[in-house]
Amino acid sequence: MTLILGIESSCDETAAALVTSTRDVLAHKLATQEVTHRPYGGVVPELAARAHVEVLVPLIEAALAEAGVSLNDVDAIAATAGPGLIGGVMVGLVTAKALCHAVGTPLVAVNHLEGHALSPRLADATLEYPYLLLLVSGGHCQLLRVMGVGRYQRLATTIDDAAGEAFDKTAKILGLGFPGGPAVERAAHAGNPKAVPLPRPLKGSDEPHFSFAGLKSAVLRAHQEQRYAVVDIAASFQAAVVDCLIDRTKRALDRSDDVTALVVAGGVAANKSIRAALEALAMARGVRFVAPPLWLCTDNAAMIGWAGVERFEAGLTDALDVPARPRWPLDPDAEKARGAGVKA
Ligand code: KG4
Ligand code: ZN
């Protein structure tokens, strides 16, 4: 059995977990910085990095204590090495390097996106490669064919905003608070999804890419018109996102007939309407639908620990001079999406 200490610090969650190759999460300790960033309506990188410094070591100690193991018992330490806010990534990675050096344990530098991509395999032992992954988070919106550890084919990305970013910006426009996704989902629950006519950017286009900037602008205009209830705008926005995600995922499924399952991961996968629509699509296409439990969808250290298990068992460890990377595509060979801005 392999035992891995996983560390996550790439955005506004600091977390440490102990994960085994038998899929047991022996401990998971997480501190969220929501309260720190709420007054600003978004994550402030410098504040995030400082908060990671303050809580990471106590979280690691607490996780080890809860699991009843010591650092000498772990086979490797896996830390997010990117992509993400560089200050935060460095806090987690440098801490991992120091611990690895101190106890003579191998380091596994994990791509945060690979953490999300492999997390469904921690939750479901029967999920086999290849599968189609819809990765929807605050910073990313991608469709990937996951063929194995470190083997990803990016079929689509966003040409502007990520889906979670669209939720967060919509929440800000509508005054619903931070973080935006859960707030918009709650408001949408009380609204009419057909009340406000909103666009479905790129729906029907040939390549399965995404775009959400136009939708966000339309939300802003609808709000400024002062004709619609906030809950109706929220519900109509969420319906438009669901429509776009489903249409684009259909297009990607058309291009990946070898996949055994449709899998969703990333923070936006916590959204119940999105999960339900994807599940219905998978059923209609005759493929399995797999979604990790909600706590594994948002940022956490168990998914980093699990990616660490898969990489370690594949013989993939890293030297202690491995760099922290603010950008780190899972599929470096993917072509840039036509019309994409700098973020893609
Ligand atoms: O994966 P994640 O925790 O962090 C990133 O790596 O980005 O995703 C966070 C994103 C945020 O944009 C948040 O608003 C969104 O996931 N999110 C949701 C929901 N819960 C979180 N979006 C829609 N509905 C939700 N229930
Ligand atoms: Zn994430």
User: What structural domains does the chain harbor?
Assistant: 3-117+296-313 (3.30.420.40), 129-291 (3.30.420.40)
Any ligand 1 atom below 6 A from CB of 328:
no
Question: In 3-state terms, the chain is what percent helix, strand and coil (to 5)?
Answer: 45, 20, 35
CA distance 94 to 80: 10
Any ligand 1 atom below 6 A from CB of 142:
no
Report residue 232 as tokens: 């109706």
Q: Where are the alpha helices (DSSP H) in the chain?
A: 34-37, 45-67, 86-103, 112-123, 163-174, 180-189, 213-225, 230-254, 272-285, 294-297, 302-313
State how beta strands 3-8 and 76-82 pair: parallel
CA distance 185 to 168: 11
- DSSP state at residue 175: T
Which ligand sits closest to the CA of 140? 1
CA distance 304 to 302: 5
Which ligand sits closest to the CA of 185? 1
Structure confidence at residue 35 (pLDDT): 86
Any ligand 1 atom below 6 A from CB of 167:
yes
Q: Please state, in angstroms and as integers, the Cα–Cα distance from residue 316 to each residue in 3, 108, 280, 319, 326, following that order.
A: 15, 7, 37, 10, 21
Buried b (16+ CB within 10 A) or exposed e, 25-37: bbbbbbbebeeeb
Structure confidence at residue 342 (pLDDT): 44
Backbone angles phi, psi at 329, to 5 degrees: -70, 145
Nearest atom of ligand 1 to the alpha carbon of 116: 1
Buried b (16+ CB within 10 A) or exposed e, 54-76: ebbeebbeebbeebebebeebbb
Which ligand sits closest to the CA of 164? 1
Cα of 164 vs centre of ligand 1, distance in Å, is: 5
What residue's CA is closest to ligand 1, atom 14?
A: 181
Cα of 328 vs centre of ligand 1, distance in Å, is: 20
Check if the beta carbon of residue 170 is closer than 8 Å to that of residue 212. Answer: no
Check if the beta carbon of residue 75 is closer than 8 Å to that of residue 305. Answer: no
Other beta carbons within 10 angstroms of residue 295's beta carbon come to 12
Cα of 34 vs centre of ligand 1, distance in Å, is: 12
Nearest atom of ligand 1 to the alpha carbon of 179: 14
Q: Which of 298, 299, 330, 343 to mutate to test the pocket of ligand 1 (most atoms within 8 A of CB)?
A: 298
Check if the beta carbon of residue 165 is closer than 8 Å to that of residue 138. Answer: yes
Place of tokens 């992509």: 83
Report residue 28 as tokens: 């998971």
Cα of 131 vs centre of ligand 1, distance in Å, is: 22
Check if the beta carbon of residue 266 is closer than 8 Å to that of residue 164. Answer: yes
Any ligand 1 atom below 6 A from CB of 48:
no
What residue's CA is closest to ligand 1, atom 10?
A: 138
Nearest atom of ligand 1 to the alpha carbon of 13: 3
pLDDT averages per 10-residue partition of the chain, 344 residues: 97 95 98 86 86 95 98 98 95 98 98 95 96 94 96 96 95 91 97 98 96 97 98 98 98 94 94 97 97 93 98 98 95 80 45
CA distance 10 to 328: 12
Any ligand 1 atom below 6 A from CB of 185:
yes
Structure confidence at residue 58 (pLDDT): 98
Q: Which of 167, 242, 299 to mutate to test the pocket of ligand 1 (most atoms within 8 A of CB)?
A: 167
Place of tokens 């906030």: 230
